[in-house]
Amino acid sequence: MPEVTHRVRGTVNGEPFDVDVDPRLTLADFLREKLRLTGTHLGCEHGVCGACTVIVDGAATRACLMLAVQVDGAAVETVEGLAGDGELAPLQQAFKRNHALQCGFCTPGFLMSVTAALREDTVRDETEAREVLSGNICRCTGYSGLVQSVLDVAKGRADA
Amino acid sequence: MKPARFTYHAPRGLDEALELLRDLGDDAKVLAGGQSLVPMLNFRLAHVEHLVDVNRLGAEFGTPTFGEDTITIPALVRQRQLERSPEAARLLPVLTEALHQVAHPQIRNRGTVCGSLAHADPAAELPSVLTALDAKFTLASARGVRTVPAADFFLFHLTTALEPDELLLEVSVDRPRANQFSAFREFATRRGDFALAGVAVVCEVDDGVVTACRIAAAGVAPTPHRLTDTELLVIGQPLGPDLGAAAEATARAQVDPTGDIHASAGYRARLTGVLVKRALADITEKAHA
Amino acid sequence: MPDMIGQRLPRREDRRLLTGRGRYLDDLDLPDALAAAFLRSPHAHARITAFDATEARALPGVVAVFSGADLMEIQKPLAPKVQHPKLRDYPRLPMPPENLHYVGEPLAVVVAESRYIAEDALELIDVDYEVLPAVGSTAAALRPGGPLVHRGDESNVAVLLTQSAGNAAEALSTAPHTLSEEFYQMRGGGHSMEPRAVAARFEPATGQLTIWDTTQSPHYARQQLSLIYEMAEDDLRVIAPPDVGGGFGPKAQFYGEEVVIPWVAKKLGRAVKWVEDRQENFVSAMMERSQTHRVEVGFDDDGRLLAVKDVIEHDQGAYCAGLQVPSITTATVPGPYKVPNIDIELRACYTNMVPTSSVRGAGRPQAVFVMERMMDRIAAHLGLDPAEVRRRNLIQADEFPYQVGIMFRDGSPLTYDSGDFPALLEGALDRIGYASAREEQARLRAEGRYLGIGLAVYVEGCGLGPYEGAKIRVTNRGRILVTLAAAGQGQGYETIYAQIAADGIGLDMSFIDVTTGDTARIPFGQGTFASRITATCGPAVFDAAKQMRARLLDTAAVLLGCSPSEVDFDGDLACLGGDREKSVSLQQLAQVANIGKHGITLPRGITAGLETASYFSPERAAYASGAHAALVEVDPETGGITILKYVIGHDCGTVINPLLVDGQVLGGFAHGLGNAMYEEAVYDDEATPQATSYLDYALVSSAEVPPVDLFHIASPSPLNPLGAKGAGEGGTVPPPAAIANAVEDALRPLGARVTRAPVTPARIVDALLAAGKVS
């Protein structure tokens, strides 16, 4: 039986999309396969590792646990949208400076989680930085560069 | 790990949703936040013919109300939203404390309070908290609306009183009196994990003496587990270390958990007692503040 | 120009990875590629009695379904990577046609228009199984009369080996003191965030099969495929994509899926891609760690070791993918200590679980756990300070090269090349504030709080042979291209090897590019494993770079009409006497020596083709080393462990890029912490895996990993011209020992004994209850 497709319209990184999708297509696969935005990675497909984290209407969200049909009318942000005009965002720069990534597979999820968190709240100390990062798994770095990056950017904002 | 096929419905109002549930019956599954259901679909542990996505029911289902007598949490209130609510933190600290320990912000951003209750994982935080808060569960269907208490709502592991045609419309609790103090304690292997055990304690305290108490434990039974013997022990007693120690022993003796790959049954029972003691200590501190 | 080796440089790889433009295997756009999914055994031990894929084949969107029996032409054994003449090998087939030996073993493959449809088809395949008794532990495997892992076999033993020096039996019988204990380390996995993946496309016009593979060893994969497919190696191109999402050992192994996918692509004449999902990864990617050690130590009144006897039961899993792990364990037991009499007995056995092979640390954490736990036990027995017992037994800095007395896995007498173990220990003690921590411990014990200090000193054999190589070429556009056979998984090869090449050539790094992991670009290679690349590929790049410098200067000198010694680089210009006006650019050099003029004789003195190559073969393993110190508080009510302070002293010889080495050590530490406290790949008695999602298998997050006080000392290796040693695994090796030592130290007044890793809250409380001082 052919699947009934649903029309989904919204924006990704400010660019409109208008695509017919199968209802069972996850948001992550939609971004990767239909929009060819392959920066959103799939590490576990059950919502724990956080590699697929994107921002949907301002909220950090597991793209593996949301269906593409559900983003009809939504504004989605992915890692591809972080660097405006080719200039790395301060968080991306901090990741590089602090060696907060090695294999880089988990990195987009961390960037999106932290981006959303820093919009919502300030991070005052290391404990809070670790809390902000704790919903994503990195197997390479041991987190120290990630923690430092969150602190750097939070401090940069506080100083600005 | 891709979901099997299903037919997708996104009703635009409650009536439409309830009619769908009535017509589809056992073949339908309600999708709210999806943070428990979608993993099961991805693992193909769950196969559903029809998915009824209730996320577009309407804005009125997405806002908690803090009334003079009742606090109501409708179907689409996200966990994160309630966690960040200053009123909830002031009135229902046990809920705020527990919400903060539900998985991670990315999950709580989508996950709904009612969705977690309807999923009814006995190891989850919210079922035990709403049990300790003596919440009322409002179940709606095309047949009408009924309200059941927690004891009648949670029936077994992942099983509730919800009939196939019913939707958990809202959960509500009495607005607490000024002498209500509450605390949530859990112990998990890692930040955000399901707890090895957890307890929600809600007390009324007058002049340092507990005059009312409800305790519900998570992760130690097929449903949120009211520790009634411990409650009876606590009521009428002054808060303090002696009460904590006595409650610890009673709670430990009162639960009969099962062991699994993470912890033995004996460990969980012992832990439950320790957490009751610590939650009572938290309450003592709050009552003295 | 300043030396680039030793510079703390951010990585070149980062920009693409930070902007979502990494090129991981699943990101490769292979037009019209089909998706594959494997049907896997639900039973730990079973025989297929019937297989029916009629319904699956009929599903719209399904292109093909192959059972193992449909692909008999490729059912050839996947050889163990490290062998031994005494090994009783049992053939591991790519996709067994009949007999299945672990849950997760692939038995059929579906190829379809999408992964969604392929998974739909898996549910439509009917298989009948005769379920057979299974073996779920080494204890069950070695039990006389118990079930057999392989039906019809004579026993479950894979190999029995011994290592000895001196006479341990005699030394133990005469030692003033002896202690014995049984230790167990749980199975744990690699858990790269990107699971495994393979894609392939066959070009009928050229007969070439191109394979993209997340492997750590593309050349090994090509070699194996060449044998199995009976194809010329030049007709097989194995490419490890530029970005691979972590390796950690399991991707260094060779799997049935890597054989099946390219073959199916060839059969169907279509590109086929298989991306392992996490559910598959949990049951089919190789794991490690599970070992039982029964150890006995003999020592004198001062705590000096006289003898160590260790009997090791090693869980090989359903097949022997290689004996590297148990071999490393046996060679790592003595560690940094002087042990005059050693007797190590290895009993490697088969079980009905997914095969084991190297996972970051590779057999070393288990050995270090045993030795370091016993150092603490010796101290407790004699009433000595555990740091002092270690001091008395450590090999001293002036004793290198140090011959341990037993053999290493590379076939040479186990010899430590260089190091300063006392300096590592003292540095760790100093930074943890050892003396004041002991005072604090005593003070808090009086308040009913339990602080513990755990130490662990280790050595890590790394930088193994046989060789690794590199080619360096000036491209026609005038850039320097360094080509490595080695494939990276996040180690920063594009940065590190540009640093090394820059020093060798004497050229600014910005003119140097690095490419990795493609068998079509360089013919020979071994792969990324055993913390070996810096110490093997590093010297090869350095040598090839020095050769390239000579080639460039010679060529420039001819064109500038001077002697090579008068030429040096300023940017990409080779200048005479430092004068940019009298210079030739790299592009001009390429124009002359590489491109030439059609039909015209080369200028006299110019050698054609600006390309160099070098392969470096180490004489034997180099030895990195380190010391960890942990200060923890244990809550005896919950069993919860809080790490208050953690210190790592690390010695990997010459450091190429300190930023990246710190990253390797700290990342390794986090993995080791997982093995110490969290990760448990539990199987039940029927050998069914019980932890098959991240809800049940706990990887550490930022909330669990404490800040680390990391310091380095450098004892350059005399075994390679760079003095480099490995850094990839050292951080992973000692945390289980350090944490277990700290926990037992904390709870010593309550008598709890810690004998297994991970040390979990529930097991801590169980141990407290067993000791009987709490109820």
Mean pLDDT over each residue of chain A, to the nearest integer: 95
Q: Is the CB of B6 less than 8 angstroms away from the CB of A45?
A: no
Q: What is the pLDDT of residues C335-384, one digit of tens each?
A: 999 999 999 999 999 999 999 999 999 999 999 999 999 999 999 999 99
Q: What is the pLDDT of residues C279-319, one digit of tens each?
A: 999 999 999 999 999 999 999 999 999 999 999 999 999 99
Which residues on B lie below 8 Å from C640 (Cβ)?
Answer: 187
Name the residue in chain A with its Cα closest to that of B9. Answer: A23
User: How many angstroms separate the CA of residue B8 from the nearest CA in chain A?
Assistant: 6
pLDDT at C1: 62
Q: What is the pLDDT of residues C677-729, one digit of tens each?
A: 999 999 999 999 999 999 999 999 999 999 999 999 999 999 999 999 999 99
Q: How far is A80 from A38, CA to CA, in rounded Å? A: 9
Q: Is the CB of B42 less than 8 angstroms away from the CB of A64?
A: yes
Q: Is the CB of A142 less than 8 angstroms away from the CB of C18?
A: no
Which residues on B lie below 8 Å from A67 (Cβ)?
Answer: 8, 31, 34, 38, 53
Name the residue in chain A with its Cα closest to that of C17. Answer: A104
Alpha carbon of C241 to those of A44, C23, C191, C219, C225: distances in Å? 20, 7, 19, 13, 18
Q: Is the CB of A49 less than 8 angstroms away from the CB of C701?
A: no
With 60 as the cut, is the pLDDT of residue C533 above it? Answer: yes
Chains touching chain B, criterion 3+ CB pairs below 8 Å: A, C
Which residues on C lie below 8 Å from B5 (Cβ)?
Answer: 120
Helix/strand/coil for C579: strand
Q: Which of C277, C701, C762 is facing B264, going by the closest CB pair?
A: C762
Name the residue in chain A with its Cα closest to that of B78. Answer: A59
User: How many angstroms separate the CA of residue C648 from the nearest CA in chain B?
Assistant: 23
Q: What is the pLDDT of residues C122-148, one digit of tens each?
A: 999 999 999 999 999 999 999 999 999
Measured between alpha carbons, how far apart are the two ends of chain B, in Å? 51
Q: How far is C225 from C213, CA to CA, in rounded Å? A: 12
Q: Which helix (H) or strand (E) holds C613?
A: strand C611-616
With 90 as the cut, is the pLDDT of residue A1 above it? Answer: no
C32 part of contact set with chain A, CB < 8 Å: no
Phi, psi angles (nearest 5°) of residue C247: -130, -70
Q: Is the CB of C762 less than 8 angstroms away from the CB of B44?
A: no
Q: Which of C123, C691, C703 is facing B191, going by the closest CB pair?
A: C703
Phi, psi angles (nearest 5°) of residue C723: 75, 15
Q: Which of A24, A60, A70 is facing B105, going by the closest CB pair?
A: A60
For chain B, 289 residues long, the average pLDDT of each consecutive 10-residue run is: 97 98 96 97 95 97 97 98 97 96 96 98 97 98 97 97 98 97 96 94 97 98 97 97 97 96 95 98 94
B9 part of contact set with chain A, CB < 8 Å: no
User: How many angstroms separate the CA of residue A146 from the nearest CA in chain C?
Assistant: 9
Alpha carbon of B165 to those of B54, B155, C221, C709: distances in Å? 13, 17, 55, 58
Q: Is the CB of A26 less than 8 angstroms away from the CB of B38?
A: yes
Alpha carbon of C604 to those of B109, C592, C608: distances in Å? 73, 11, 11
Q: Is the CB of B1 less than 8 angstroms away from the CB of C279?
A: yes
With 60 as the cut, is the pLDDT of residue A28 above it? Answer: yes
Q: Is the CB of A24 less than 8 angstroms away from the CB of B55?
A: no
List the structure tokens of C145.
Answer: 């009369």
pLDDT at C554: 97
Q: Is the CB of B263 less than 8 angstroms away from the CB of C762?
A: yes
C237 pLDDT tier (thresholds 50, 70, 90): very high
List the structure tokens of B53.
Answer: 């996505």
Q: Is the CB of A142 less than 8 angstroms away from the CB of C194?
A: no
DSSP collapsed to 3 states, chain B: CCCCCCEEECCCCHHHHHHHHHHHHHHEEEECCCCCHHHHHHCCCCCCCEEEEHHHCCHHHHCCEECCCEEEEECCCEHHHHHCCHHHHHHCHHHHHHHCCCCCHHHHHHCEHHHHHHHCCCCCHHHHHHHHCCCEEEEEECCEEEEEEHHHHEEECCEECCCCCCEEEEEEEECCCCCEEEEEEEEECCCCCCEEEEEEEEEEEECCEEEEEEEEEECCCCCCEECHHHHHHHCCCECCHHHHHHHHHHHHHHCCCCCCCCCCHHHHHHHHHHHHHHHHHHHHHHHHC
Helix/strand/coil for C210: strand
Q: What is the pLDDT of residues C449-473, one digit of tens each?
A: 999 999 999 999 998 889 999 999 9
Does this model's pTM top 0.90? My answer is yes
Q: Which residues contact C305 (CB under 8 A, 6 or more apart)?
A: C297, C298, C299, C337, C338, C339, C340, C378, C393
With 60 as the cut, is the pLDDT of residue A2 above it? Answer: no
User: How many angstroms separate the CA of residue B71 from the nearest CA in chain C?
Assistant: 32
- For B:109-128, CB contacts with A below 8 A are 109-110
pLDDT at C531: 86
Name the residue in chain C with its Cα closest to that of B43. Answer: C279
Q: Which of the residues A26, A125, A127, A143 would you substitute to probe the C interface, choosing the one with the greatest number of C C-beta atoms within 10 Å?
A: A143
Q: Is the CB of C691 less than 8 angstroms away from the CB of B261?
A: yes
Mean pLDDT over each residue of chain C, to the nearest integer: 96
Q: What is the pLDDT of residues C659-684, one digit of tens each?
A: 999 999 999 999 999 999 999 999 99
Which residues on B lie below 8 Å from A6 (Cβ)?
Answer: 8
pLDDT at B14: 98
Q: How far is B107 from B80, CA to CA, in rounded Å? A: 8
User: Sign of torsion, CA C213 C218 C224 C225?
Assistant: positive
Q: Which of C279, C696, C700 is facing B261, going by the closest CB pair?
A: C696
pLDDT at C31: 86
DSSP string over C261-297: HHHHHHHHTS-EEEE--HHHHHHHS-EE--EEEEEEE
Q: Are the C-beta atoms of C631 and C645 separated by less than 8 Å?
A: yes
C492 part of contact set with chain A, CB < 8 Å: yes
User: How many angstroms separate the CA of residue B48 from the nearest CA in chain C?
Assistant: 14
Q: Which of the residues C119, C187, C699 would you substitute to probe the B interface, choosing the one with the greatest number of B C-beta atoms within 10 Å?
A: C119
C775 part of contact set with chain B, CB < 8 Å: no
Q: Which of the residues C40, C274, C638 would you substitute to probe the B interface, choosing the one with the greatest number of B C-beta atoms within 10 Å?
A: C638
Which residues on B lie below 8 Å from A117 (Cβ)?
Answer: 105
With 80 as the cut, is the pLDDT of residue C409 above it? Answer: no
- For B:141-200, CB contacts with A below 8 A are 191-192
Q: Is the CB of C191 less than 8 angstroms away from the CB of A133?
A: no
Name the residue in chain A with its Cα closest to that of B43. Answer: A46
Q: Is the CB of B1 less than 8 angstroms away from the CB of A46?
A: yes
C27 part of contact set with chain B, CB < 8 Å: no
With 80 as the cut, is the pLDDT of residue C572 above it? Answer: yes
Name the residue in chain B with its Cα closest to that of C705. Answer: B190
Which residues on A lie below 8 Å from C29 (Cβ)?
Answer: 36
Burial bucket for residue C391 (CB in 10 Å: 0-12, 13-18, 19+): middle
Helix/strand/coil for C303: coil
C26 part of contact set with chain B, CB < 8 Å: no
Q: Where are the beta strands (DSSP E) in C524-610?
A: 567-570, 573-576, 579-585
pLDDT at C142: 95
Q: Nearest Cα to C546, choosing from C612, C478, C607, C608?
A: C612
Other beta carbons less than 10 A from residue C552's beta carbon: 26
Q: Which of B8, B80, B110 is facing A66, going by the closest CB pair?
A: B110
Which residues on B lie below 8 Å from C698 (Cβ)?
Answer: 189-190, 193
Alpha carbon of B100 to those of B108, B130, B188: distances in Å? 9, 15, 13
Q: Is the CB of C637 less than 8 angstroms away from the CB of B274?
A: yes
List the structure tokens of C255.
Answer: 């799997």
- For B:33-52, CB contacts with A below 8 A are 34-35, 38-39, 41-43, 51
- For C:633-662, CB contacts with A below 8 A are 659-660, 662
Q: Nearest Cα to A75, choosing from A91, A92, A54?
A: A54
Q: Are the C-beta atoms of C727 and C537 separated by less than 8 Å?
A: no
Q: Which of the residues A24, A56, A123 would you substitute to probe the B interface, choosing the one with the greatest number of B C-beta atoms within 10 Å?
A: A24
Q: How far is C388 from C369, CA to CA, in rounded Å? A: 18
User: Sign of torsion, CA C410 C414 C420 C421?
Assistant: positive
Q: How far is C229 from C262, CA to CA, in rounded Å? A: 10
Q: Which of C26, C246, C660 is facing A139, going by the closest CB pair?
A: C246
